Amino acid sequence: VPQDRIPGQEARTKVAAIQMNPAFGEPKVNLARTCDLIDEAAARGAEIIVLPELCVSGYVFNTRREVAALSEPIPQGPSVTAWSDLAQRRGIYIVGGVCEREGENYYNSAALVGPRGHIGTYRKTHLFFEEKMFFEPGNLGFPVFRLPMGNIGVLICYDLRFPEPARILTLKGVDLICSPTNWVAMFNTRLWDDSGFCMANYIVMGSAAVNQVFFACADRVGVERGVQFLGASTITGPSGWPIAGPGSKDQEEIILAEINLSDARRAKAKNEFNHTLADRRIDLYDHMLGYSE
Amino acid sequence: VPQDRIPGQEARTKVAAIQMNPAFGEPKVNLARTCDLIDEAAARGAEIIVLPELCVSGYVFNTRREVAALSEPIPQGPSVTAWSDLAQRRGIYIVGGVCEREGENYYNSAALVGPRGHIGTYRKTHLFFEEKMFFEPGNLGFPVFRLPMGNIGVLICYDLRFPEPARILTLKGVDLICSPTNWVAMFNTRLWDDSGFCMANYIVMGSAAVNQVFFACADRVGVERGVQFLGASTITGPSGWPIAGPGSKDQEEIILAEINLSDARRAKAKNEFNHTLADRRIDLYDHMLGYSE
């Protein structure tokens, strides 16, 4: 047992956010690359590994036909099959972005696999920009998956720009929000600050702090069809402060942190007067659901 | 007209967050100090001025009797009377923290006054630590006040640590959230980072970004009965990036920024596909109101 483990807090889990640079329209190359990076992260002790959004297909689609050609069913498709094999062999959990096909519908999804194969799927609920041309909005709600080390949920990129999804996951008991992302430069006035953080990092820090949950955000890097991605993958703790990262702006890398997922529960009891879930004023929150008084 | 004004965006407003160090139990001294600082901010062009939480009474009460002695009715009490006089004389708007007495109940409140006197009151809805011993939880909801330059709302300190209040104000059309605060050191693992920001600043940046609204946070400084306050007052824009501040950790100062409150509305239309209020998945948000499925 390493010296830095606090007594009573031995139930630690290594979490990895994999920052990578997929090549558009090269699913076999990209899938092989995800497996190499998963292997490397697992060799470094990672038990929960997060891959970026649409990391096998690429992101910047021009036509629905391209989406069709690069999509795959979950769990039968090649990505989830390969990740399940790895997860079983390594005894790990993987959350990875998948361009999902179900019948004639396409979803910007993330699959969760573990030692016993496919566990569940999240379909991005808030679609950004031209995603609305190609994908259906997610119709599976905000599921929370109960793993041996804690409860995890998934949000994808633009989902993070709404306060509701992370809050709903929190109310459902999530400890760690795994976020496959493709943070884009476009529409941002300022890409990174002097600390190497982009605005999405600060949104995540704020959300981690108000919900007292962990986040593992795996972003992609590179430029695809003129669209630049921001990197800056992070792992953030329930106090809101980052634990690992930000990753670089343009290089592939693995962001790794050892955490105790139960800290997300302890953090909610602030002091003898305040538990942040009990302090909610649900008597005043009915306005949350719409515009009307 | 200064060179940096964009054509069509001349409707600018100077906003000031006043960072000050009240002395506990010295309401006359403190009130005079607020008036001096308001005068200085107004002389520098401020039209909307925010003062810290409980800036006339002080914050660290030991007994309900102390609260009673340092409380005042709104609008008849000395603070709102003095601020109203100043607002009328200067043609400005002031949001200031008041230890409010109504009958036998006490509230941690903020009063809004303008050129025609008292406009409205917000009572802190989420009470922190020993505030629960002395104050009633706010019972006036989350009002939005329609000023000539835009719509403003008020949140006080711990209210910011919940995603719901700012979201509700946003759904009610707020452009600028004025926040009198007393950010305390206690219960924080890390007080400020190398950029001089505390976690509350990042929570506000994240909230500004997901709601596309301005924030003006006026924090206090100093140590009162052993409790340290963090300063770092800021004015934050609807992109999430700070516009002015952070104020220092321990000195009184005026944080000033010239903004166009309508930018909070423009920022919500991200591109031809995305308006962030229209993109909300209210079909999936019913979980927001409680714990049940």
Task: Report percent pLDDT > 70 for chain A.
Answer: 95
CA distance readout (Å), B36 to B30, B33, B84, B244: 10, 5, 14, 21
Residue B277: pLDDT over 60: yes
* Beta strand residue intervals within chain A, DSSP E: 13-19, 48-50, 93-102, 105-114, 117-123, 144-147, 150-154, 176-180, 214-218, 223-224, 227-228, 234-236, 242-244, 253-259
Task: Evaluate if residue A8 carries a pLDDT over 60.
Answer: no
For chain A, say whether B204 makes contact (Cβ under 8 Å).
Answer: yes
Please check whether residue A167 touches B, CB under 8 A. Answer: yes
For residue B251, what is the DSSP state?
Answer: S
CB contact under 8 A, A195 and B199: no
Are A189 and B285 a contacting pair at CB < 8 A? no
Tell me what the pLDDT averaged over chain A comes to. Answer: 94
- Tell me the sheet residues that pair with B229: B184
Tens digit of each residue's pLDDT (9 = 90 or more) over B109-134: 999 999 999 999 999 999 999 999 99
Q: In the predicted model, is pLDDT for residue A7 greater than 70?
A: no
Residue B256, CA distances (Å) to B24, B45, B48, B209, B271 in order: 26, 9, 10, 20, 30
Q: Is A55 among the residues known to form the active site?
A: no
pLDDT of residue A101: 98
Instruction: Kindly state the average pLDDT of the residues B129-157.
Output: 97
Write the CB contacts of B34 (distance below 8 Å, at least 6 apart in sequence).
B18, B20, B51, B55, B56, B79, B82, B83, B96
Considering chain B, what percentage of its residues have pLDDT values greater than 70? 95
CA–CA gap between residue B243 and residue B216 (Å, rounded): 10
| pLDDT tens, position by position, B204-238 | 999 999 999 999 999 999 999 999 999 999 999 99
Which pLDDT band holds residue B292 (cuts at 50, 70, 90)? very low
Mean pLDDT lowest for which of A258-262, A272-276, B243-247, B286-290?
A: B286-290
Residue A239 pLDDT exceeds 90? yes
By the CB < 8 Å criterion, does B36 face chain A? no
The predicted structure's pLDDT at residue A293: 42
Residue B176 token pair:
């600028």
For residue A291, list chain B residues with Cβ-Cβ distance below 8 A: 171
Nearest CA in chain A to B198: A241
Position B284 pLDDT exceeds 80: yes
How confident is residue A289, by pLDDT bands cut at 50, 70 and 90? low
Let me know if A172 is a catalytic residue. no
Q: Which chain B residues contact residue A126 at CB under 8 A?
A: 279, 281
Across residues A233-240, what is the average pLDDT? 97
Query: Which one of the listed residues B47, B72, B99, B157 is annotated catalytic?
Result: B157
Mean pLDDT across chain B: 94
pLDDT of A12-26, one tens digit each?
999 999 999 999 999
Q: Does A278 touch chain B (CB under 8 A)?
A: no
State which H helix or E strand residue B81 sits in: helix B78-90
Q: Are B34 and B62 contacting, i.e. CB atoms less than 8 angstroms apart?
A: no
Note if the bond before A238 is cis, omega within 30 degrees: no
List beta partners, residue A177.
Answer: A153, A215
* Residue pointed to by tokens 């050129």: B115
Active site residue A124: yes
Q: pLDDT above 90 covers what percent of chain A?
A: 91
Cα B287-B237-B52 angle, rounded to 5 deg: 85
In terms of residues, how long is chain A? 293
CB contact under 8 A, B241 and A199: yes
Interface ipTM: 0.94
**Nearest one of B145, B143, B83, B146 to B115, comparing CA atoms:** B83
What contacts 24+ positions apart, CB below 8 Å, involve A38-43? A38/A83, A38/A86, A38/A90, A38/A92, A38/A94, A39/A86, A39/A90, A40/A254, A41/A16, A41/A254, A41/A256, A42/A86, A42/A90, A42/A92
Confidence of residue B1 (pLDDT cuts 50, 70, 90): very low
CB burial readout A162-185, b (16+ within 10 A) else e: bbbbbbbbbbbebbbbbbbbbbbe
Please state, in angstroms and rounded to a whole number, the distance separating the CA atoms of residues B67 and A18: 53
Helix axes B163-171, A199-211, angle to 10 degrees: 120
What pLDDT band is residue A10 in, cutting at 50, 70 and 90?
A: low
Q: Are strands B117-123 and B105-114 parallel, antiparallel or unpaired?
A: antiparallel
**Mean pLDDT, residues A198-227 taken together:** 98
Closest by CA to A172, choosing from B293, B50, B24, B61, is B293
Tell me how far apart the alpha carbons of residues A157 and A203 are, in angstroms, rounded to a whole number. Answer: 11
Whole-number Å distance between alpha carbons of A260 and A243:
12
For testing the chain A interface, which of B202, B263, B266, B282 should be mutated: the one with the most A CBs within 10 Å? B202
* Residue B155 touches partner A, C-beta closer than 8 Å: no
Nearest chain A Cα distance for residue B285, angstroms: 6
**Per-residue pLDDT for B247 more than 80?**
yes
pLDDT of A3 > 60? The answer is no
Question: What DSSP element (H or E) covers B38?
Answer: helix B27-43
In sequence order, the 6+-apart residues with CB closer than 8 A to the CB of B271 are A129, A186, A187
Q: Cβ(A134)–Cβ(A69) under 8 Å? A: no
Contact by Cβ (8 Å): A66, A37: no
Is-cis flag, bond preceding B242, omega within 30? Answer: no
DSSP string of A232-291, one letter each residue? --EEE-TTS-EEE-PPPSSS-EEEEEEE-TTHHHHTTB-SSS-BTTTT--GGG-GGGGSS
pLDDT of A4: 45
User: What is the Cα–Cα distance from B148 to A182, expressed in whole angstroms?
Assistant: 40
**Predicted structure pTM score:** 0.95
A161–B210 CB contact, under 8 Å: yes
Secondary structure class of A177 (helix, strand, coil): strand
Exposure b/e, A231-252, CB count within 10 A at least 16 = b: bbbbbbbbbbbbbbbbbebeeb
CA–CA dist A105, B225 (Å, integer): 63
Mean pLDDT computed over A215-237: 98
| pLDDT computed for residue A288 by the predictor | 74
pLDDT tier for residue B10 given thresholds of 50, 70 and 90: low
Closest by alpha carbon to A70, among A19, A30, A20?
A30
CB pairs under 8 A between A and B: 175
CA distances from B155 to A58, A185, A207, A286, B164 (A): 42, 32, 17, 17, 11
Structure tokens belonging to residue B255: 């944080």
Confidence of residue B4 (pLDDT cuts 50, 70, 90): very low
**Residues 6+ away with beta carbon under 8 Å from B87:** B93, B94, B113, B114, B115, B117
Are residues A279 and B142, on separate chains, in Cβ contact within 8 Å? Answer: no
pLDDT grade for A189, boundaries at 50, 70 and 90: confident
Question: Mean of the pLDDT values across residues B160-180?
Answer: 97
In the structure encoding, which two tokens stand for residue B2, read together? 């200064």
Q: For residues A222 and A233, what is the distance between their CA atoms, to the nearest angstrom?
A: 13
Q: Sign of torsion, CA B21 B27 B32 B34?
A: positive
Cβ under 8 Å to A: B residues 208-267: 209-211, 239-241
pLDDT per position as a tens digit, A151-182: 999 999 999 999 999 999 999 999 999 999 99
Token code pair at residue A147: 């793993």
